[in-house]
Amino acid sequence: MKLPLEIEIIKLFNSFHALSELLFVVIINTNYGIVTFKKDKNLPIFMRRVALAQAPYSEVVFGREKNAKGANPPLGLYSLKAYNNNIADIRVFDGETYDSFNNFIGDIEDFQPELIGITTVSHSYERSKDLARYFTEKALTVAGGPYATFRDQECLEDFDVVVRGEGEQTLRELIRRVPFQKINGISYIDNGKFVRNLDRTRLENLDEIPLIEWGDQEFFNYSRPSVFDNRSKTGYIITSRGCAYNCGYCCSNIMWDRIRLRNPENVAKEIARLNENYGIDYLKFWDDTFTLRSNSNLIPILNELKSRGIRFTCNARADTISEKKLAQLADAGCDKIFYGCESSVPEIRKELGRKMTNEQLASAFHLTKMFGIHTVGSFIFGSPNEKEYDIEKTIEFAIDIDPDKVLFNILTPHPGTPIYNYAIARGLIDHYKVDTSKWQGEPLGIPTISKHLTREQLQKMKFEAYKRFYGRQEYLINQLKKAQSLDDLVSIQNIVRTYL
Ligand code: B12
Ligand code: SF4
C-alpha cells in the first residue's frame, strides 16, 4: 500500500508529466497538421478520459454451458491502462461483469470518454460493434485485439481507427492526438480511402509495461475466494508474449511476431505484489506456453511462488516437458497443467500444424500425473479432412491418456490463422462476417470448415465424446478419490449435471 505522501508526489509528478505531454501534442500537431477523422466529432486537443472496454461474450461462446460470468479479466486492456495511466484518466469496463448490456453502456456513458477503445475477438465482435455504434458521435472509437488486427478493413465500417497487434505504444500516440498519418500500427479511413499504416515494431522489453494496479472492487470481480473453504483467491498473470510454434488454428505467432519473455525479477515482483496487496494464493499463468523458457528464466519465478506458498496452473506443450521440469513445477506448487492434444491421428494433427507424436502426448500425461499434477487435455474436432472414424480414434486416445478434465472443441477458422488462409484458398469459406444468426458454429457466429461432417454432426459428436469420457464409472470413482475439498466435489457434480 502506498503512503499518502507518496501518492502526493506521484500526483505532482503526473501533473508535470501531463503538461509536458500537452506541449508535445501542440508541437506535433503544429508540425504535421491536424488529425483527420472519418466522422465529425468534437474532440479535445488532448484525450483526458479513455474508456477501455470488453463486450460481453460468454453467451455467444458457451451458450447453455455458460456458468462463470466475469471470471476472466481482460489482461490486454489492463496492460494498456498500466502503460498509459500517467497521461490520461483510463478506466476498464468489462461487459462480462455486468448484469445487462444497458447497465454496461450506462456506466461508460457516465464516465464521458473522449476515446473508447474496444477489444475484439471473433466471437464478441457483433457485441463490440453494438458498443462502438453507441459512441460514434461522442468519442473516438478504436478497435484492437486479434479480430480487429486481421480484419481491419471490415472493422472500419463501425470504428474510426483500428490498432493492429501490440497496443500499448500505439494507444499512447492516439491519446496524444498524434496525426493518424504518423502512427505506425493503425488502419483508418481518410477521405473515403482505406489506409493501412506500417506495422509497429513490438516492445523490445516487456518490463517497460508497469505492473497492473487493480482496484479492490475490480479485483473482486475476478478473484472471489471459494465460498466453501476459502482456500484460494485467484490472480491472473502473463509473463511472455508470443509463441515459437505455428499451429494451424492459432494466431499467436503472427499477432506477436516472436516470443518475448519478461525478466524473472519483474515477474517475481508482480507475484509478490499480488500476494501481499491482494491476498492472492492461487495464480493462473495465461502464457501461451509457460514451459517454453530456459531454466535461468523459470527457476527464479518458481522460487518466488514456492517461498510464498502460492499454487498455480499453466499451459504447456507436451513436447516442452521433461521429467526434470515437471519435478520443478510440482515442487513449486503447480497443481494443474493444460495440454493441447487436438487429435490422435497423425495426418489430422499434421493438418492442424501440430508437430508432435502420440508417444510424446501419452508420456507428458503419464509423467504429469506421476508428480501429482492435475491434467487438462484439449481436443479439436472438424479439421477439413477429418472423418467420423478419426474422431472416434481421438476419443479413444483421450480415454486412454485419461486427463482429469477434457475439452472437445470444434475447429474454428479465426482470421489471422493458417487454417483460415487454407480454408479461403480452397473455397471452404468466403471472408465471413461474424453473424450469430447465420453461423451456428463454435463459437456461435463463425463457420466450421469440415469437408465431411456438418456442424450438427460435429456438435453431436462433441457431446457424445463428453458423455463417453465423463460417463465412465472408473473416471468418477478416481475423481472422487482425488477430491480434496468441497470445491472439488462441486466440480464433479457440475460435470455430471452438464454432460451426463
Ligand atoms: C487467456 C485467454 C483466454 C481466457 C480468458 C480470455 C479473456 N477474458 O481475455 C479463456 C481461457 C477464458 C479463453 C477462452 C477462449 N478463448 Co482465448 N485466449 C486467451 C489468451 C491465451 C490470452 C489473452 C490475453 O490476455 N493476452 C495477452 C494480452 C496482452 O493480449 P491481448 O488481449 O491480445 O491485448 C493486446 C493487443 O491485442 C492489443 N489490444 C487488445 N485489445 C485492444 C483494444 C484497444 C483499444 C487497443 C488500442 C489495443 C488492443 O493491445 C493489447 C496489449 O498489447 C489468448 C492468446 C494470446 N496469447 O493472446 C487466447 C485467444 C484470445 N483466445 C481465443 C479463443 C478462440 C478463445 C475461445 C473461443 C476458445 C473456445 N473455443 O472456447 C474462448 C472464448 C472466450 C473468450 N475469452 O472470449 C483466440 C481468439 C482468436 C480470435 N481471432 O478471436 C486467442 C487469440 C487464441 C488463438 N487461438 O489464437 N481465452
Ligand atoms: S496453439 Fe499454442 S503452441 Fe500452437 S502456436 Fe498457438 S500458442 Fe503456440
Does residue 414 have its Cβ closer than 6 Å to ligand 1? yes
Q: How far is the CA of 178 from the centre of ligand 2 (A)?
A: 35
Does residue 166 have its Cβ closer than 6 Å to ligand 1? yes
- Say if CB 151 and CB 126 are below 8 A apart: no
pTM metric for this prediction: 0.92
Give the pLDDT mean for 95-115. Answer: 93
Query: Which protein residue has the closest C-alpha to ligand 2 atom 6?
Result: 250
Query: What are the distances in angstroms from CA 22 to CA 109, 132, 471?
Result: 25, 27, 63
User: pLDDT digit string (tens) for 391-401?
Assistant: 999 999 999 99
Does residue 171 have its Cβ closer than 6 Å to ligand 1? yes
Give the per-residue pLDDT at 8: 53
Give the pLDDT mean for 266-280. Answer: 95
Does residue 29 have its Cβ closer than 6 Å to ligand 1? no
Give the per-residue pLDDT at 239: 98
Buried b (16+ CB within 10 A) or exposed e, 185-224: bbbbbeeeeeeebeebebeeebeeeebbebeeebbebbbe
* Residue with more model confidence, 215 or 476: 476
117 sits in which H/E element: strand 115-119
Query: Which protein residue has the closest C-alpha to ligand 1 atom 54?
Result: 288
* Residue 332: CB atoms within 10 Å: 19
Of 252, 255, 251, 221, the C-alpha closest to 236 is: 221
Sequence-distant (6+) residues with CB within 8 A of 490 are 228
Q: What is the rounded CA–CA span in Å between residue 201 and residue 185?
A: 8
Query: What are the distances in angstroms from CA 411 to CA 251, 364, 379, 455, 463?
Result: 14, 24, 9, 10, 15
Q: What is the rounded CA–CA span in Å between residue 439 and residue 433?
A: 10
Give the per-residue pLDDT at 28: 46
Q: Is the pLDDT of residue 68 over 50?
A: no
Does residue 289 have its Cβ closer than 6 Å to ligand 2? yes
Does residue 93 have its Cβ closer than 6 Å to ligand 1? no
Q: Is the pLDDT of residue 61 over 70?
A: no
* Residue 477: CB atoms within 10 Å: 10
Residue with C-alpha cell 456438418? 454
Helix 486-499 and helix 455-470, axial crossing angle in degrees, nearest 10:
140
Does residue 382 have its Cβ closer than 6 Å to ligand 1? no
Task: Please report which confidence band the pLDDT of residue 29 belongs to, taking 50, 70 and 90 as the band edges.
Answer: very low
Atom of ligand 1 nearest to the CA of 243: 57
What sign does the CA torsion over 284, 310, 320, 468 have?
negative
User: pLDDT digit string (tens) for 396-437?
Assistant: 999 999 999 999 999 999 999 999 999 999 999 998 988 888
Q: How far is the CA of 320 from the centre of ligand 2 (A)?
A: 12
Query: Which protein residue has the closest C-alpha to ligand 1 atom 62?
Result: 121
Give the per-residue pLDDT at 351: 96
Give the per-residue pLDDT at 10: 45
Does residue 79 have its Cβ closer than 6 Å to ligand 1? yes
User: pLDDT digit string (tens) for 330-367?
Assistant: 999 999 999 999 999 999 999 999 999 999 999 999 99
Helix (H, G, I), strand (E, B) or coil at 319: helix
Atom of ligand 2 nearest to the CA of 253: 5
Domains of the chain: 47-196 (3.40.50.280), 223-499 (3.80.30.20)
Query: Which protein residue has the closest C-alpha to ligand 2 atom 3?
Result: 245
Give the pLDDT mean for 155-180. Answer: 97
Q: Is the pLDDT of residue 34 over 50?
A: no
Query: Which protein residue has the closest C-alpha to ligand 2 atom 7?
Result: 288
Q: Is the pLDDT of residue 12 over 80?
A: no
Give the pLDDT mean for 35-61. Answer: 78
Task: Please report which confidence band the pLDDT of residue 31 belongs to, taking 50, 70 and 90 as the band edges.
Answer: very low
Q: Is the pLDDT of residue 172 over 70?
A: yes
Q: Which amino acid is at 52?
A: L
Please tell me the number of the ligand nearest to residue 380's CA.
1
Please tell me the number of the ligand nearest to residue 341's CA.
2
Share of the chain above pLDDT 70, in %: 88
Does residue 390 have its Cβ closer than 6 Å to ligand 2? no
Give the per-residue pLDDT at 232: 77
User: pLDDT digit string (tens) for 299-335?
Assistant: 999 999 999 999 999 999 999 999 999 999 999 999 9
Does residue 250 have its Cβ closer than 6 Å to ligand 1? yes
Does residue 125 have its Cβ closer than 6 Å to ligand 1? no
Q: Is the pLDDT of residue 2 over 70?
A: no
Q: Is the pLDDT of residue 136 over 70?
A: yes
Does residue 450 have its Cβ closer than 6 Å to ligand 1? no
Q: What is the rounded CA–CA span in Å between residue 154 and residue 181?
A: 20
- What mean pLDDT is reported for the chain? 89
